[in-house]
Chain A
Amino acid sequence: MKYKYLDHTADTKFRAYGKTLEEAFANAALATTNVMVEPDKIQEKAKKKIAVEGDDLQALLYNFLEQFLILLDAENFFLAAVKKIKIWKVKNNGRISYKLTAEAMGDNAAKYETIGPQVKAVTYNDMVVDEEKDNCFVQAVLDI
């Protein structure tokens, strides 16, 4: 299973899985998109480069997922697939932070019929990033 939705009174909560943290993050991006449109139906016509940072893994997930909301609103881009995703730790003056790069493949949103509400924002509510060898998951609540 790539991801599943969990009950939440007003918003959308999901859990996304992966063998690696990278895979779980990529699936989280698909779960976010799937609230609005089925990513399987989106053609891989355009490529967007993604680079984000975060002081911790939760901030990294928040900033990563937010990129897709910005791409949708600002450039009308719907995600089909996340490619070449890489997450790594950096040390700066003794402080640890995280970086992520990826390529997002997708298409012009206006061409597709949507299925649900618009995701307004990513939230830290109930957010979990669980990194275990071969068995990672991330969880987030999206404001809709």
Chain B
Amino acid sequence: MEPKKISENEWEIPKSGGMKVAAKIFASEKLMQKIRQDRTLMQAANVAHLQGIQKFSYVMPDAHEGYGFPIGGVAAMSTEDGVISPGGIGYDINCGVRLLRTDWAAEEVMPKIKELLNELFNQVPSGVGRGGQTKLSKDEMLEMLAKGSRWSLQHGYGKQEDLDATEEYGYLKKAEPSFVSESAIARGRPQLGTLGAGNHFLEVQKVDEIYDEKTAAAFGIEKPGQVTVMVHCGSRGFGHQVASDYIKQMEKKYGFEKLPDRELVNAPFNSELGQRYFKAMCAGMNYAFANRQMIAHWMRASFRKVMGTDEGMKQVYDVCHNIAKVEKHNVNGEQMEVCVHRKGATRSFGPGREEVNEMYKGIGQPVFIPGSMSTASYVLVGTDEAEEISFSSTAHGAGRAMSRAEAIRSFRGEKVAAEMEKLSIFVKAASWKGIAEEAAPAYKDINEVVKVSNDIGLGKAVARLVPLGVVKG
């Protein structure tokens, strides 16, 4: 499948067969070479078959093959006659990134970096088969699913100002815990307040470069060398089970025989089942918000223990990158309510959107695009143009370029860690194999991903952060 080049960073797969719209890919020549290597393009064309899809089936610059939808896929369906598809959100509902800024300079933290990583590793449970510090009762779990970050706050985790700096203020009102299965509850109860494994991480970073001083200052990012702390994780087994349960129910009710891929199974957004899934997914969003809220609390506790204080550790923002949101967008000159599926894509609202949190009104919402283990991460800001270009969406990470199996064959975890130490980046991980799998060459070039986002205007670069120490689950 060969897409047509429209401009330097824009490609299109024209409408053909059952496609209701064309597919649009945002990528440079270099990123396109990687994207062509797997089934990303075919999957983007498949997504274009879905009922009610508007304008284009979009592919972000960091995209790679997923299941059904590509990772880095964005699709907006009309809420009136369109569908909602769990595959367009992903199994890890509300997988996302939270960033805290600090008053420390890298020189103050570096002498204690190993101690700090050990403390973070001990405070935040991670890895496979390791539960959280507490196991919730079923009633507590149902309450938490309805309240999201507010539940964590009420239980002593974090501060009100954290919620002010969280997408949706840390909870979705539409969440309906009673639409969630017993299996999902059983998987979620022991795991609240855990990082998980795989590509989830905690990272101590420093500001490397600032591109937009005014916006950076509004985000609390003041100068190169300033230390920041980032966490990337989601809704753990809970979200995965919600997705799985509704995939099965939608298969039974609506079938998948007419779809180009079984994983594109869906339900009309306005049907009973579509609404049940949407509200269960919102409960999954709340789980992830509550989870990251607890982890942020332990990040502060770790710094308090090692650095003596946590003063100045303020949350910049918390973004979601596996979600579906009901938003109003301009479609062919008219305001339309759409359900925007962002699977491995970050919302990038500009200053003009009313949904942007109070503290960032007139600025635009922060966007975080983390790189791989030893490379930079970026802070961007949403733009008003993105609304027209991509339903206000941009990339979410570097995106894998190499399979995990190939990474394990190519790298040894011990060696990767030793080479990172030479660059003064320290790693603490549950397993060496995990380090090999996440080695930088297994990912696309983050700088290139951000350059494309910046050049097209999907999200503008604000600052670049480089790692000092990483904790891997």
Contacts and interface: CB of A to CB of B under 8 A. Distances in A.
Contacts of B38: 9
A5 B237 CA distance: 23
Contact of B243 (A6, A11, A78, A121): A121
Query: B37, B190, B198, B248 — which one has the most chain A CB atoms within 10 A of its CB?
Result: B198
A29 B64 CA distance: 27
Contacts of A1: none
B215 interface: no
B67 A123 contact: yes
B406 A124 contact: no
Interface residues of B, number: 52
A143 interface: yes
Interface in A102-126: 109-110, 112-118, 120-125
Chain A at the B interface: SS class: mixed
Contact of B128 (A74, A114, A123): A114
A22 interface: no
Given A7-B405, A117-B198, A120-B240, A125 B437 contact: no
A113 B434 CA distance: 12
Interface in A1-50: 5-12, 36-37
B431 interface: yes
A117 B129 contact: no
Contacts of A69: 187, 237, 240
Nearest to B127: A114
A100 to B, nearest CB: 15
Given A78-B129, A121-B91, A116 B191 contact: no
A73 interface: yes
Given A70-B187, A74-B189, A59 B240 contact: no
Given A74-B187, A121-B243, A116 B434 contact: yes
B13 to A, nearest CB: 19
Given A70-B241, A118-B198, A124-B262, A12 B128 contact: no
A10 B91 contact: no
A117 B404 contact: yes
A37 B404 CA distance: 15
A4 B83 CA distance: 37
A109 B437 CA distance: 22
Interface string A115-144: 111101111110100000000000001011
Contacts of B248: 59, 62-63
Given A70-B241, A76-B129, A121-B240, 20 more contacts: A8-B403, A9-B401, A9-B403, A10-B64, A10-B66, A10-B404, A11-B404, A73-B188, A73-B190, A74-B183, A76-B190, A110-B129, A110-B130, A114-B129, A117-B198, A117-B404, A122-B244, A123-B67, A124-B67, A141-B67
11 contacts: A12-B404, A70-B183, A70-B187, A112-B129, A114-B128, A114-B431, A116-B431, A116-B433, A118-B473, A125-B67, A125-B261
Interface of B: 37-38, 64-68, 71, 91-92, 127-131, 183, 186-191, 196-199, 236-237, 240-241, 243-244, 247-248, 251-252, 261-263, 400-406, 430-431, 433-434, 437, 473
